[in-house]
A and B are shown apart, each in its own frame.
Chain A
């Protein structure tokens, strides 16, 4: 067994028993990256030499999405416009990782500014799905998910604004967690949509996800949207038992457009969990049909403002047009942004700007916020009766590269099951629950009420312990 194919908790046990070391693990990971990442392209930046052993309770190397700031290291959100930007500070999650001995080892590919569901919108080119190199890994944290699936990383961090951790985790057959909004500090996460973004783990199993979330979670005085709520020991929540838990199945999620294989796998999931004592209840989230529209208003509005700072003044690239058009200053702003942003970024900036414009604000942004409140209320209501909700992570398995690049709307619809959790702020996990006939992974999503990650982990862990899907390995 190669070290890089083990989980973090397995490796930590081995290190404790002195059977291996952090340095050996790092070497195994770097070797694997060198061997296979030419085909996967999960990483956009890899360290030249393996990191030396370091102290700390959890000294396992980790892959980091290219939108998290590490002091002194280039970070670009896979956008031309940020090329060369080296933040002088660590993101809070990076601080926490370092304090726990977890070493950042390489930066992973993503859709530019996390705009996308396929990792095709990267200025560095696309990442490929390790299960089938013709397929996308999902997105936007496609690099992190592919790296973990390909054993080029033991574990990874991603960010999730509308499904950007869970959907690629599902497509790549790994575990991904979108924590409760406010559970993890966003300080140092380059913003896409501030009210939706959360950083979370992408791992090989539920135990590693619980461990990693425990490390990165907690209140941060640098982020006033982070919640001052104590962080429980999520490892304690990992019980192979769901006796007495009431689990909801939202009828609005099981509609046309869902793959038959995905639907079948859900039936199998229910059977497994029922056997372990869960009680399933069909329930309703009546405003689900508005979630995609609401999301693309709120998220693009915030993004249009968050991306305004990329103007060529302080950092990143600066461009001037060959011929003067207006004032030198405005010319510089325009040319920098024109050359710096990719197509999808421009599309979303325009959408968001439109939604916030005077005369349209009430019809779009304000209405979107109201619908968002209704969606949140659906969940609040539901969680009065039930402990968790299950659903597929994505209506389909990973699609082919280029299949949806010219059809943004169908691309946006691949987020249909994940978006609600961001709009309502609740935690959600995706874990493997089967494979299609063509051998592509299928993801199961478990959602709970805010700050009930323990229940979420318990359901996920129970399912995992009673199935073998997470043990299936990519053959590269």
Chain B
């Protein structure tokens, strides 16, 4: 952030997040809600908007919307009503989008984001259901445009925040917090690159201390949270320069260019559409009962914030570790399953999960819950490492083998003879041999050069292909050479 912005202006940001639900079927028809297929393969007369067809609401999409609303502490509007938003575009087959206008499913909620000065409450203005549009593919060679309607009718929830965010960093943290909640709810892939989560930002500046909002720009076309932050930082600078040079900021839509690192004017709001909203006559409004809403409430999982607090107090693990653990609900669940198996200190389990296990998920490029690993299996492995049966290093190798084969730690140690050699007899023989071949080093040790001891231990490890218990070997060598 530039210093001028910091000193003179306050940044005001509100975010609009479009979330695609990963329901099995689309919002108003029975087509599979699936991506990456052949163009127009997941379409039917209803989502193609063919004349005479009618929409029927997907009840699961409605449940998801209620779920998100409740998780974001919103008031749920029990009267479910849809409206038509009328505009022309080739990817909009009916010439209108079915959306919710004056009665969104959820309103007046909030979520807490972490800031340097502690948690901050960010208001959720509203969240409403709507259908996604298709995709236009521009073919430069034939100078024509093609339409893929596979995405048409994907259930969307538009989540609009209050203009409570005061910096690009807060916007970034809001998105991270929101995404984690949505992942916990298991309603969406939340993948910005695939477009299952999209974010538009409204940003304006005002002089510090001023009550009125400044003129805002709506920024679109950001493909990652990082891009949202970068675009907002760019806008802060652009708008502050304009204000300082006496220019007026105009209300407009701007597109973020990732390559250029700049935003560009798309269209000004003066020529904005008149969407001519009116109630969708093809969908009869209906009322959710208190019980309907409570039934959804009962399906709410423990949310990240609650989980963070519980894990920390229940297992006495550090805030840092807990923060990492709660980033993936599967990870947290796994930790708790391991703890239930018992036998190892929670801190140690945590280290293994955050360390070697996370590393494996990264190198294998899979999600954590795709790993084949029984909690008991990991716990046995950790016990073996802790009990000195195998070294830490070998333990990590065994972990890889467990993940590859699904075998138990015990099996792998047996089959590959990986147990550390700790019995005096076997080690003594090896040590004898090494000492007899290393006169000069032995001399150094006798003269008190401790570091030379490490060299001999290394030789023992080499000779035993890593199976010797290095601590034990050190002790034996020391005992042998001691006067």
Contact = CB atoms under 8 A, between A and B. Distances in A.
Interface of A: 67-69, 75, 77, 82, 85, 87-89, 91, 186-191, 193-195, 221-225, 301-302, 304-305, 307-311, 313-315, 329-330, 333, 353, 356-358, 361, 365
A195 to B, nearest CB: 4
Given A187-B54, A308-B88, A356-B278, A314 B284 contact: no
16 contacts: A75-B52, A186-B54, A187-B54, A188-B52, A194-B282, A222-B54, A224-B54, A224-B282, A224-B284, A225-B282, A302-B281, A308-B86, A310-B95, A311-B90, A356-B278, A358-B274
Given A89-B45, A221-B56, A329 B90 contact: yes
User: Which of B51, B56, B90, B277 gathers most chain A CB within 10 Å?
Assistant: B51
A82 to B, nearest CB: 7
Contact of A305 (B56, B86, B283): B86
Given A69-B51, A224-B284, A357 B274 contact: yes
A309 B94 contact: yes
Contacts of A308: 86, 88, 94-96
Given A187-B54, A311-B90, 4 more contacts: A221-B56, A309-B93, A313-B90, A365-B278
A77 B51 CA distance: 10
Contact of B52 (A91, A193, A311): A91
Contacts of B55: 224
Contacts of A89: 45, 50, 53
A195 B90 CA distance: 26
Interface residues of B, number: 29
Interface of B: 45, 48-57, 84, 86, 88, 90, 93-96, 145, 147, 274, 276-278, 281-284
A224 B82 CA distance: 13
Contacts of B283: 224-225
A257 to B, nearest CB: 31
B50 A313 contact: no
A305 B51 contact: no
Contact of A191 (B52, B88, B277, B284): B52
Nearest to B53: A187
A229 B283 CA distance: 17
A82 B86 contact: no
Nearest to B286: A224
Nearest to B29: A222
B284 A87 contact: no
Contacts of A87: 45, 50-52
B274 A187 contact: no
A309 B278 contact: no
User: Which of A87, A224, A304, A365 gathers most chain B CB within 10 Å?
Assistant: A224
B214 to A, nearest CB: 25
A157 to B, nearest CB: 13
User: Which of B48, B52, B145, B147 gathers most chain A CB within 10 Å?
Assistant: B52
B291 to A, nearest CB: 20
